[in-house]
Structure 1
């Protein structure tokens, strides 16, 4: 995992974790990378010091170990995501179209999952269509 220090155009600073360096660019291009404080899509990397492994750094990392309660919460979250995926139809990039059909009674009501750009998501929400993102969690990295 790679951690980047990020900043939006409104100067909100936050961290982002990515599976590889190209993942930041993919998420930014697709509109999935937004500021958690204000929702701005204008997010960029900020200069940060390189991470050098030292005894002190290892001690600090060990101090940040995940608690048992946090591990249990992560297990429950992963189970919930698996259950949502198992009980939903994956409509892929047709998600906005299918969500509208269901909302307006043109298709049977059912659970669907898929992909939508940030613009499409905003449009669906503006139409009063209830949607929610499903987080993509890293495999057990801790």
Structure 2
């Protein structure tokens, strides 16, 4: 897998993307499958990246962690385990929550403001809708894709 630093030509937002190869990145871009997570624009391009060079940890510092505890890189095994845990969380939400489809943002607001029964919900929302929810103090998190979604 290759990690590219990406940039949206439309809004300037920077983000990362993982691809099997450079050709995979090009093919996804040509098919308009790449979108900015902020504005949902398809003007996604590779950004200038510095090379990833592993250095020996300083004495007393955990490898892979920067000051303040932010992870700068993680071994594949740890990242894979974290992703597995996120997928387990997504399965739990889907099994125990109520699917509300494209009306997610509206239903989340109704629950937050006491206009609907309080319950765990999931569904679809645009980046703009999620930003609006967060600005109102309403928690909304993206669920990772699951392998079974491809069947």
TM-score by length of 2: 0.56
1:81 pairs with 62, 66, 90, which one? 90
1:121 pairs with 119, 125, 130, which one? 130
Q: State the partner residue of 1:66.
A: 76
Q: Which segment drifts farther, 70-79 or 81-90?
A: 70-79
Whether 1:110 aligns to 2:112 is no
Alpha-carbon shift at residue 134 of structure 1 (Å): 1.2
Secondary structure of residue in 2 paired with 1:25: coil
- Contact 1:90/1:113, CA 8 A, preserved across alignment: yes
Alpha-carbon shift at residue 107 of structure 1 (Å): 0.5
- Contact 1:89/1:111, CA 8 A, preserved across alignment: yes
Secondary structure of residue in 2 paired with 1:133: coil
What are structure 2's unaligned runs of at least 5 residues?
Answer: 48-74
Alpha-carbon shift at residue 108 of structure 1 (Å): 0.4
- Cα distance in 2 for partners of 1:12, 1:77 equals 23
- CA deviation string 1:24-58 (max 9, x = no partner): 72452xxxx33xxxx575651239xxxxxxxxxxx
Alpha-carbon shift at residue 122 of structure 1 (Å): 1.7
Q: Decide whether aligned partners of structure 1 residues 12 and 108 sit closer, same or farther in structure 2, where only a CA change above 3 A counts.
A: closer
TM-score by length of 1: 0.59
What are structure 1's unaligned runs of at least 5 residues?
Answer: 48-64
- Cα distance in 1 for partners of 2:34, 2:104 equals 18
Alpha-carbon shift at residue 82 of structure 1 (Å): 0.8
Q: State the partner residue of 1:62.
A: none
- Cα distance in 2 for partners of 1:125, 1:73 equals 24
- Cα distance in 2 for partners of 1:2, 1:84 equals 30
